[in-house]
Amino acid sequence: MTKHLLLGQTLQFHANPLHDDWQNACTVDSAGGVLIEAGRITAAGSGADLRTAHPDGQNLITAGFVDAHMHYPQTAMIASWGKQLIDWLNTYTFPEESRFGDKAYADMIAGRTMDLALAHGTTTLTSFCTIHPTSVDAYFEAAATRNMAVVGGKTCMDRNAPDTLRDTAQSAYDDSKALLEKWHGRGRATYAITPRFSPTSTPDQLNALGSLWSEHPDCLMQTHLSEQHDEIAWVKSLFPTARDYLDTYESHGLLGARGLYGHAIHLEPREIDRLADVGAALVHCPTSNTFIGSGLFDTFGLAARHIRTGLATDTGGGSSFSMLRTMAAAYEIGQLRGTALHPSQLMWLATEGSAQALHMSGQIGHLGAGAMADIIVLDLASTPAIAQRNARATDIWDALFPTIMMGDDRAIADVWVAGKPTA
Ligand code: GUN
Ligand code: ZN
């Protein structure tokens, strides 16, 4: 049976204050609680006592989720069947991304993506846009309307993409510069210089974007790294003198502490050393890595090297908008690698870890004084299946874990963005 524990300041009457001294007739408990089951109050009293006795009845207030890598233009083609990375890009992704020169379409998908994110408890998105500047304006405008802290940038590609999706080294530099001057630091917006990945940028374009980053070092830089074996082999053939995949970024000024490298699954020892040396951030995209068939990110091995790691949906290579489902996939990948991530580690990755990757620690993804009030309330008994498991919980972690593994947008009871409820 579903239990709800309401915690807060409570007022209870034991007598009629018109007849008795009013002070003896009632109790005000500044930290009280009420347990509700099947429409009735089954216990009332000290919140602390009720919390200990009924770990399964509680909602959990936590920082909003921070998605550290996604592609908002891929929202409408999420869950497209049957392809691995390069074929998936050519078959599904590039045709869809070609539509974002149309501002009205970009506006519609940007708004839809933000609303889906909020419904799933994600209060910050970090997104690739498309090569079209309109797609960047649509993204930051939709976020501003909702007062969301977001990171994004124009995706740059000057080769190995359809004509409709190619810019040049110079136009990528010029457009990215104009967009970062327009958006970076405006309201809650952060600009990320965004070469898609080495196969779709010439060395000239990577150099141009490296120069732009050195001229604007407070911007972030986001790209993809070592996601699939075929991709890595392709990178080797396109950059025959590069020491490894990371070197294609490093030798063009695109390796740094404010760099975000998505996927980073099949890393070589030199790459791991360099990422650790410069303090770069990796982004784990677990539903994407299983959906597209990429491989198993080494969460614990990379954490042992103190490499900052965020967590992300990678929509639409990822198969869910939910950071709960994303945590579940991270858990499953951990199991396949032989180590179970604790619920606290999963929640940390989805909030603080992603915020740290974005260099926004203490501002977002954090439930503490000084942080922006981007907050969610998780219902830990949101479906009958979760509730019946939750009823067996022995402590709060055991009560939370079924929601991580089986929860979705139904588990998001409340979302606050910058101190205001969204619903
Ligand atoms: N590598 C280059 N582009 C993409 C993309 O859109 N999605 C994923 N998952 N990997 C990429
Ligand atoms: Zn991606």
Q: Please check the confidence at residue 55 and state whether its pLDDT lies above 80.
A: no
Q: In this structure, which residues have their CB less than 5 angstroms from ion ligand 2?
A: 262, 314
Share the mean pLDDT of the chain.
96
Q: Which residues pair with 202 in a beta bridge?
A: none
Q: Residue 103 C-alpha to ligand 2 middle, in angstroms?
A: 22
Residue 105 in tokens = 């379409």
d(CA 69, CA 262) in angstroms, rounded, equals 7
Q: How many other C-beta atoms are found inside a 10 Å radius of the C-beta of residue 337?
A: 15
Nearest CA to ligand 1 atom 1: 224
Angle, to 10 degrees, between the axis of helix 103-119 and the axis of helix 133-146?
Answer: 40
Q: What is the pTM of this model?
A: 0.94
Q: Please check the confidence at residue 1 and state whether its pLDDT lies above 60.
A: no
- pLDDT per position as a tens digit, 390-402: 999 998 899 999 9
Q: Which residues pair with 224 in a beta bridge?
A: 262
Q: Name the residue of 160, 196, 198 whose CB sits within 8 Å of the most ligand 1 atoms, as the mutation to test its pocket.
A: 196
Q: Which atom of ligand 1 is nearest to the CA of 231?
A: 1
Q: Residue 83 C-alpha to ligand 1 middle, in angstroms?
A: 12
| Beta strand extents in 38-165 (DSSP E only) | 40-46, 59-63, 65-71, 122-128, 149-153, 155-156
Q: Residue 26 C-alpha to ligand 1 middle, in angstroms?
A: 62
- Average pLDDT of the residues in 169-194: 98
Q: Where are the alpha helices (DSSP H) in 126-165?
A: 133-146
- pLDDT per position as a tens digit, 141-150: 999 999 999 9
**Largest separation between any pair of C-alpha atoms in the chain:** 92
